[in-house]
Structure 1
Amino acid sequence: MAARPIWNGTLSFGLLNIPIQLMTGERRNELHFRMMDARNKAPVKYERVNAETGEEVPWKEIVKAFEYSKGNYVVLEPEDLAAAASENREVIEMEAFVDREQIAPSYLEKPYILVPGKKAEKGYVLLREVLKKTGKVGIGRVVIRTKEYLTMVTPQDDALMMILLRFPQEIVDIAEYNIPEGGVAKWKISPKELEMATTLLESMAADFDPEQYKDEFKERLSAVIKKRLKQKGATTTVEEEEGPAHDATTNVVDFMALLKKSLEKKGDAPAKATARKAAKKPATKKAATKTPSSKSKKSA
């Protein structure tokens, strides 16, 4: 069965808009387990119960609320969540292009594959090839469902990959842990030890072949499950599938004209950047309080 897009939208940089389909870039193969009562082997249910009445609450009656202090809540309506999200809910807008080496591994979170919409192949290949030529990656934002993410667009073979990035506030500073500082001299590592460790590493050096690595624990556990099935039997259920999504389409565009206009607009960027910095500068030497205002700078 063909995979379905998470959503159809556009990849935007400058004045160029490339219709794309956002497709999942990973396949999770975990084994899922249900909790059961050991006394009669009945499944254990998790019910949505009203804390005051003890009655089960249907999904349609459930709303989201934020606990701003112990026992005190403010209820959020769907329009509140929508208002907080980016205006361009189905646009991956590139805000900057940076060297790939500047993105630390700790920022990388989850991969997606960008598939060009109908008649969007030329723009897709144009961006892919210029990223390969320059060694840059695109940094922008994207809204998936009700959450906004920082994102990186990078070429991989013939595809454009979108990697979700963590925000700096989500990354733990390594200084919080007891990490040994200093080099070989401080830790009295002898030249012979360093040479032997280097020789060992070089003897194990190889090209990375992901096909050589398999989830061996899952394979062994699957064998145990199959053995149990022969003894106990099993029942299965079928989940309902989501409806098909529509294809993204576009008309033929003049890429040269759009690129020229984008470059012309970029000529005003230094002045605008200076103005923004001046506006953000505090009036006094007192440290400014951080506020979640970065989303308001995002252009529509």
Structure 2
Amino acid sequence: MARPIWTGTLSFGLLNVPVSLMTGSRTVDLHFRMLDSRSKTPIRYERVNAETGDEVPWKDIVKAFEYKKGSYVVLEKEDLKSAASEGREAVEVEAFVDASSIGPEYYEKPYILVPGKKAEKGYVLLRETLKRTGKIGIARVIIRTREYLSAVMPKDKALVLMILRFPQELIDVSEYKIPEGGISQYRIAPKELDMAEKLIESMSGEWKPGDFRDEFRERLQKVIAKRMKSKGLVTPAKDDADNDASDGTSTNVVDFMALLEKSLATNKRTPAKRRAGGGAKSKAKKTAKKAAPRKSAKKAVKKVVRRAG
């Protein structure tokens, strides 16, 4: 089981639901290492001074902002800390909007919110209410050291937290040459439009993600397997050990009706800053499982070859 990114709370109104933030996507790209063709050993990238060519140790490296070509302002560690978000482990919903009001260009990366122990009622309450109203929650969330804008939305039986792009990150389409006229301006005949509609209709069907595969990656895996079989391995292949994290957070029984009524009566949203003693935050109990035994290079070769076959 994957390890939570953090364990904290999902807050809306005066309700706090203990949750764990789990990654909702994975990278499947094949990664390559650069080797010296003569010795087949890895190439190491070094930090060198651009003028002298001498290697620079980490302790002598500072961060700087290049405000114009060749001109920099150096930032101290205290400067970076002052700008960093507080490491609060919370998803604080600030508003609810129509799900259809957010364009697809704003969506960036999905995460999955998993309820803690005894937090299922609040989780299901929000999930089903969002489904019935067609709304999604707009929230701010801190992942590691950066604050993100996000949307909390229902997806089947889960609540998904989708990282959103800020407007400043998007390029206005007006910066590109886009045809603005209608069909008459481009002399599109009604018959052409009708035939295009029929073509789209004939190619229409249900969205089935499983029907689409990364064919380039699969072909490349076969090439790698063939190369491993014919040339052998340069270095032994190893599998990384997986560590599991178990158990979520726990919470006491909450009077949801009273909290909902109080939220409506006061029209009060979750405060931006955590109050002293506020919230139902608890730490997850983590137990590390024994690392799985590493597979030998020979078994790894056979496994790749079988997949290619």
Q: TM-score range by the shorter chain?
A: 0.7 to 0.9
Alignment-derived partner of residue 75 in structure 1: 75
Q: SS in structure 1 opposite 2:117? A: coil
Aligned counterparts, 1:1-300, within 5 A: 2-51=1-50, 54-59=53-58, 62-69=61-68, 70-77=70-77, 80-87=79-86, 89-234=88-233, 235=235, 236-237=237-238, 239=240, 244=245, 247-266=248-267, 298-300=272-274
Aligned partner of 2:147: which letter?
E
Identify which range, 58-67 or 216-225, moves more after superposition: 58-67
What CA deviation, in whole Å up to 9, does each residue of 1:195-245 have, x standing for no partner? 111111101110011111111111001000000111222222455767848
Cα separation, partners in 2 of 1:87 and 1:262, compared to 1, 3 Å: farther
Q: Distance in 2 between matches of 1:97 and 1:215?
A: 36
Question: How far has the Cα of 1:82 moved from its partner?
Answer: 4.1
Aligned partner of 1:41: which letter?
K
Aligned partner of 2:76: which letter?
L
What CA deviation, in whole Å up to 9, does each residue of 1:39-64 have, x standing for no partner? 44332211123557755445566554
Cα separation, partners in 2 of 1:46 and 1:57, compared to 1, 3 Å: same
- 2:87 touches 2:144 (CA, 8 Å); kept in 1? no
What CA deviation, in whole Å up to 9, does each residue of 1:43-97 have, x standing for no partner? 22111235577554455665543334534232231x5444423446211111110
Q: Distance in 1 between matches of 2:150 and 2:50?
A: 39
Q: Distance in 1 between matches of 2:58 and 2:4?
A: 26
- 1:151 touches 1:165 (CA, 8 Å); kept in 2? yes
Alignment-derived partner of residue 279 in structure 1: none
- 2:150 touches 2:163 (CA, 8 Å); kept in 1? yes
Q: Distance in 2 between matches of 1:212 and 1:165?
A: 27
Aligned partner of 2:187: which letter?
K
Cα separation, partners in 2 of 1:201 and 1:243, compared to 1, 3 Å: closer
- 1:20 touches 1:116 (CA, 8 Å); kept in 2? yes
What is the Cα-based RMSD across aligned positions, in Å? 2.4
Cα separation, partners in 2 of 1:60 and 1:245, compared to 1, 3 Å: farther
- 2:116 touches 2:248 (CA, 8 Å); kept in 1? yes
What CA deviation, in whole Å up to 9, does each residue of 1:96-142 have, x standing for no partner? 10001111010000000000011111100010011001000000111
Q: Distance in 2 between matches of 1:10 and 1:243?
A: 21
Cα separation, partners in 2 of 1:18 and 1:83, compared to 1, 3 Å: farther
Cα separation, partners in 2 of 1:88 and 1:95, compared to 1, 3 Å: farther
Identify which range, 45-54 or 7-16, moves more after superposition: 45-54
- 2:62 touches 2:74 (CA, 8 Å); kept in 1? no
Q: SS in structure 2 opposite 1:160? A: strand
Taking structure 1 as the reference length, the TM-score comes to 0.82
Aligned partner of 2:115: which letter?
P
Aligned partner of 1:261: which letter?
K
Aligned residues: 270
Taking structure 2 as the reference length, the TM-score comes to 0.80
- For structure 2, the residue ranges without an aligned partner over 5 or more in a row are 275-309
Cα separation, partners in 2 of 1:114 and 1:168, compared to 1, 3 Å: same
Q: Distance in 1 between matches of 2:107 and 2:54?
A: 43
Higher normalized contact order (CA 8 Å, seq sep 6+, divided by chain length): 2
Aligned partner of 1:11: which letter?
L
Q: Distance in 1 between matches of 2:203 and 2:10?
A: 42
Question: How far has the Cα of 1:37 moved from its partner?
Answer: 3.2
Q: Distance in 1 between matches of 2:170 and 2:187?
A: 32
Cα separation, partners in 2 of 1:88 and 1:47, compared to 1, 3 Å: closer
Q: Distance in 1 between matches of 2:117 and 2:84?
A: 28
Aligned partner of 1:132: which letter?
K
